[in-house]
Amino acid sequence: MNLEAIVSTIESLPPLLDTTVIINRLYAHGDENIDIKKLIVAIESDSLLSINILKMINSPIYGLSQQIVSITQAVTLFGTQKIYGLALNYSINNLIRANLRPYGVSNSIFNDITHLQSALVNQWITKIDRGKANFLAPLALTMESGKLILAKEIVNASQIKEFKTGLQMSENISKYENEIFSTSSYFVSGILFAHWNLSPHYVDILKSLDYEHKARADIDEYVDILDVIRTAVNVKEILSEASIAKASELAKELGFDVDDFIAAAEIVQLNYIKQCR
């Protein structure tokens, strides 16, 4: 299990689903220039994608007070960037089928984790800077994609038990991945995004979430925000009191308002508890 084999696996992956490619092209000139009517038509032309998006946004995780029944409603309420993230997430999960047992979670729980990370970005960062929240929400939803690739490598090597045991004993998931693969799942996510010709800014941010990779000054804040998010919500701790406390301490160190973060985390935590009942 090494980076060269991982890159080879990624290079063998097919393109994103046709609808996602169309949607991605609509974003080529920036979110502010997107043709919303064309976006809605593109999504509605794919019934499975439409059903998936509506199912996800109606999850208790997002804490909506009323059911969303159309893509038009979804785009109006969540904005084009969030919908882009949902479409991208759907496409990735369809192209990379993986057993997440090495990470100690079911595929269903892993899916919850990705949505909780995105929901926490929305709940927390929107109050600070709506533009940053809109930019980061789709990335938060998809930043764990590299774990799908690494999980496949672990399963193929018949080392599920060994990896899972080591992960449980480790204090830092990304550093543990580096010990095993000489890279992290976030860096792998960056390679995935580059393979599919997605936003170079997203690629740089994802690679900078690897502790061995230094972030550029212009993306430092984005990396810091996602670092707090993944500390609060990850495959080992899902908005537990301990993980929220660790994330709060990190947020304080990075100069964020701790009270704002805790308030946002508690809202998302409560919505998740409702879903689990």
- Among 25-39, 147-161, 217-231, the range scoring the smallest mean pLDDT is 25-39
Gap between the Cα atoms of 91 and 233, Å rounded = 22
Residue 83 has pLDDT above 70, yes or no: yes
Domain count, the chain: 1
Q: Report how far Cα 67 is from the mean position of its chain's Cα atoms.
A: 24
Quick one: which of 142, 140, 146 has its CA closest to 120?
140
- What pLDDT shows up at residue 214? 65
Residue 150 has pLDDT above 80, yes or no: yes
- Mean pLDDT, all residues of the chain: 92
Mean pLDDT value across residues 210-214: 69
For residue 192, what are the CA distances in angstroms to 34, 138, 216? Answer: 24, 15, 20
Task: Please give the residue that has the higher pLDDT: either 78 or 245.
Answer: 245
Residue 277: band (very low, low, confident or very high) from pLDDT cuts 50, 70, 90: low
Mean pLDDT value across residues 128-154: 94
Gap between the Cα atoms of 273 and 277, Å rounded = 6
For residue 44, what are the CA distances in angstroms to 49, 142, 256? Answer: 8, 22, 39
Give the up-direction half-sphere exposure of residue 37: CA atoms within 13 A in the CB hemisphere: 0
> Which tens digit of pLDDT belongs to each residue from 250-270?
999 999 999 999 999 999 999
Residue 5 has pLDDT above 90, yes or no: no
Gap between the Cα atoms of 189 and 207, Å rounded = 8
- What pLDDT shows up at residue 216? 73
Task: Please give the residue that has the higher pLDDT: either 226 or 31.
Answer: 226
Residue 225 three-state SS: helix
Task: Please give the residue that has the higher pLDDT: either 246 or 62.
Answer: 246
Check if the beta carbon of residue 117 is closer than 8 Å to that of residue 133: no
- What pLDDT shows up at residue 213? 63
**Locate tokens 């304080």: which residue?**
252
Please, is 111 exposed, middle or buried when counting C-beta atoms within 10 Å of its C-beta (0-12, 13-18, 19+)?
A: middle
Quick one: which of 79, 63, 75 has its CA closest to 120?
63
Name beta bridge partners: 238: 233
- What pLDDT shows up at residue 212? 64
Residue 94 has pLDDT above 80, yes or no: yes
Stated as kind and residue range, the H or E segment containing 258 is helix 258-276
- What pLDDT shows up at residue 60? 87
Residue 231 has pLDDT above 90, yes or no: yes
Residue 25's domain spans which residues?
3-276
- What pLDDT shows up at residue 256? 96
Quick one: which of 249, 230, 35, 263 has its CA closest to 128?
263
Residue 208 has pLDDT above 90, yes or no: yes
Residue 242 in tokens? 């301990």
Query: Which CATH number belongs to the domain containing residue 254 in this structure?
Result: 1.10.3210.10
Mean pLDDT value across residues 31-54: 90
Sign of CA dihedral 234, 166, 150, 161: negative
